Amino acid sequence: MDMTDNELLEQLFQPMKEMQVADNGFTERVMRQLPADNRALKLSRLWTAFCVVVAVTLFVLMRGWEIIGHALLMLLNNLPSTQHLLMLTVSVGVVGLLALTEFVHHERYGTI
């Protein structure tokens, strides 16, 4: 019977799971000093909200919709074929999905 790598590792480290290391209370002192609330996550969300507000404000003040519209018109006028437009659409879609999944992952698992 072949063991998987995970099973082999679990069998190898099983005796270590129950072993106690004398650290003179160090672990408990460190755990007590950790913040009860996740300040880094709160600060990260506050910083993100601030950046979004600044970005939206600048977009409105600089009339960003006109810049984007002009750029899209130039792009469409200079495309040699519809194949390039399809490749562009797929690329933008893939990048958008990647960004969305990354955002959802960070929100779900609270990583920064």
Domain boundaries along the sequence of the chain: 14-109
Task: Say whether pLDDT at 56 is over 90.
Answer: yes
Highest mean pLDDT among 1-5, 25-29, 34-38: 25-29
Task: Say whether pLDDT at 59 is over 70.
Answer: yes
The chain-wide mean pLDDT, for the chain, equals: 83
Task: Say whether pLDDT at 84 is over 60.
Answer: yes
Q: Buried b / exposed e across 26-62, counting CB within 10 Å, b at 16+? A: eeeeeeeeeeeeeeeeeeeeeeeeeeeeeeeeeeeee
Tokens of 24: 């003179």
Return the minimum-mean-pLDDT range out of 42-46, 47-51, 72-76, 80-84.
80-84
